[in-house]
Amino acid sequence: TLYDAYRKRLRFRGTQRRLPQSLIIGVRKCGTRALLEMLNLHPHVQKNGVEMHFFDDDERFANGFEWYRKKMPYSFDDQVTVEKTPSYFISREAPARIHSMNSSMKLLLIVREPAMRVLSDYTQIKDSKERKGITVPPFEQKVITPEGEVNDSYKAVKISQYAVHIIPWLRVFKREQILIIDGDVLIKDPFTEIEKVQKFLNLPPYITEDNFYYNDTKGFYCMRNETFQKCLADSKGRPHPHVDPNVMSRLRRFFAPFNEQFYNMVGHNFSWPT
């Protein structure tokens, strides 16, 4: 099928490797993979499946734009190539580097309620460490210091301070070049968010409500079209450990001022619980 051919990176007549015109820059654990796979349902989207770390890794960036272009998938000239690397969001260098490659780049930023993002981040790291036989302290111990404060030197807590990380992006790019997607809505009602992205990328309307169906076993929406259906891997939509609800409230109170700032900077109130 056409799909298998793509996977094998067979080259169709009239295709070439192109630099991405759109990037999913983050935020880690907010639904970046779901966003990329859902967008890829669109025939005018060509995804780059692997996270390239081109703009946030000095050595990779030093290889130059031609090197990066040659890593991209083949695409038709009416297709948008999309690359995703969630760590671009927290990179100081990425905004200017991206701008120097393409000043009209379309940036996709997906966010999620920040305390839940910390728990999701913790769970991913815990799972991967435990698979290597390393035990991980409980969530409460990672997030709260012995003095009883929120541990803001814990990386997962830092990443959820969206207001801090968005500043360099807003200095370099026009606000209209950044679409902010609500990851909590993407979980419950993917079509609503994907439709916004479809418009933002100036794609002809193609994706419909029918491309998504709720899978009871998975507990999440999965994707389908005429030729295939798929759910994300088991590592997406993991069960989280039960944690002390007081710790979650502490976290939410901690993030509240950052969230207010973020709402003001991006001009959208996500109404995350405080």
Pick out the residues of the known binding site for 3'-phosphoadenylyl sulfate: 29-33, 112, 120, 221, 236-240
Tokens 């295709």 sit on residue: 15
Catalytic residue numbers, as ranges: 29
Task: Give the nearest distance from C-beta 236 to ligand A3P in angstroms.
Answer: 4
What is the smallest separation between the CB atom of 146 and ligand A3P, expressed in angstroms? 27
Among 187, 252, 258, 263, binds ligand A3P (CB under 6 A): 187
236 counts as binding ligand A3P under rule CB under 6 A: yes
Asked if 186 touches ligand A3P (CB under 6 A), the answer is yes
Which position has the token pair 């000239």? 77
Quick check: 47 and 182 in contact, CB under 8 A? no
With beta carbons less than 8 A apart as the criterion, state whether 247 and 116 touch. no
Q: How far apart are CA 85 and CA 56, in angstroms?
A: 9
Q: Is 269 helix (H, G, I), strand (E, B) or coil?
A: coil
Tell whether residue 32 is a contact of ligand A3P (CB under 6 A): yes
Query: Which has the closest alpha carbon to 270: 95, 92, 106, 116?
Result: 116
Taking CB under 6 A as the criterion, the residue among 31, 73, 95, 114 binding ligand A3P is 31
Which of 241/257 has CB closer to ligand A3P? 241
Amino acid at 72: M
Quick one: tokens of 229?
Answer: 């259906």
Q: Among residues 17, 22, 23, 29, which is the contact residue for ligand A3P, using CB under 6 A? A: 29
Contact pick of 221, 254, 255, 262 for ligand A3P (by CB under 6 A): 221
Place of tokens 């099928």: 1
> Taken in order 137, 274, 255, 240, is the CA torsion positive or negative?
positive
CA separation for the pair 188, 210 (Å, rounded): 15
Mode of pairing for the β-strands spanning 16-17 and 80-84: unpaired
Taking the complex as a whole, how short is the minimal distance between the CB of residue 107 and ligand A3P, in angstroms? Answer: 15
Contact between 48 and ligand A3P per CB under 6 A: no
Binding flag, residue 243, ligand A3P (CB under 6 A): no
Stretch that binds ligand A3P, among 5-13, 141-149, 151-159, 233-241 (CB under 6 A): 233-241
Q: What are the residues binding ligand A3P (CB under 6 A)?
A: 28-34, 86, 120, 123, 186-187, 220-221, 232, 236-238
